[in-house]
Amino acid sequence: MSVRQFTKHYGTPRQMASAARHHAWLAEHAQPLRLPTLTVVGPTSLTYEWIDGRAARTEDLLPLAGLLGDAHGGAWTTDLRLPPLNRPHRFQDGIAFGDYIGPRQTALRRRLEQGYLPDHIALHAMLTLLEKSAEGPTAFYKDSNPRNFIITEAGDIYTVDTDDLTLAPMGYDLAKLITTLVLTYGPLSDPAIDTALLVYNEAAERHDPRLGTTDRERLDDFLALHAVLTAPYEGRNGYRYSWPPRPCPRGSA
């Protein structure tokens, strides 16, 4: 019986090589993440095993929060203790991660040009928030939107679309997951978000007590950044709702 596979094509050999290196880095340093096996490396393509399953949903928030906390904690203990957040980092094996600040400064300025920020005062406020959030232990960012997790019938979670990794603070990728779950499925209650943050912190601090310190105020800063950064995608790629959503009653999911 033939094994189903998925081939992803890239514009250049350099882009392909970067995606392959990021996949390999996650497999080594973020081992809690289950990744599809990379089976064939072509000149400008990568072929992976095909994973049958569905995209993540709201009810998957807690296991995904725990998975991210575990992966971020494991990566920090093995390879992310030293890289600062404010400049790109190249590891000894040649793998390069973009920095946290630079790409997001560029994206926020573009949001002003696109009309998603009302004026330069709002841009300044977002840039200040970005600078404020660039502190604490370094994690990685892999764009944790619901489509980038596949849940199998057996309940296994696979992480896909790992081409572009950047450095980011602990909790930043959890905020991306929460933001995109809301954009896809609608509002989450404050208790649901608080519980997800608790699960994330508990998973991270099992690797080191210094890693489980993201509080709700900090998470809200990340959510505010993601709300602006994801604004152009509302109404596309399954994002049917807007942020900020209508208030959700406390105690509901």
> For the chain, which ranges sit under pLDDT 70?
1-2, 93, 245-253
> Where are the strands (E) in the chain, listed by range?
5-9, 38-41, 45-49, 54-55, 89-90, 96-97, 138-141, 149-151, 157-159, 166-169
Q: Which fold has domain 52-233?
A: Aminoglycoside 3'-phosphotransferase; Chain: A, domain 2 (3.90.1200)
Task: Write down the pLDDT at residue 252.
Answer: 41
How far apart are the C-alpha atoms of 166 and 17, rounded to whole Å? 16
What confidence tens digit (pLDDT) does each residue in 216-239 have? 999 999 999 999 999 999 998 889
* Residue 7 DSSP code: E
Answer whether 169's CB lies under 8 Å from 129's CB: no
Q: CB 249: neighbour CB atoms within 10 A? A: 9
Spatial contact of 46 and 7, defined as CB atoms under 8 Å apart: yes
Query: DSSP code of 168?
Result: E
Q: What is the pLDDT of residues 107-146, one digit of tens each?
A: 999 999 999 999 999 999 999 999 999 999 999 999 999 9
* The token pair that represents 135 in the structure block: 């502190």
15 vs 216: CA distance, rounded Å: 36
Q: Single out the residue of 27, 43, 176, 172 nearest to residue 95, CA to CA.
A: 27
pLDDT at 249: 42
Domain boundaries, the chain: 52-233
Task: Report how far apart, in Å, the C-alpha atoms of 82 and of each of 68, 180, 212 are.
Answer: 20, 30, 18
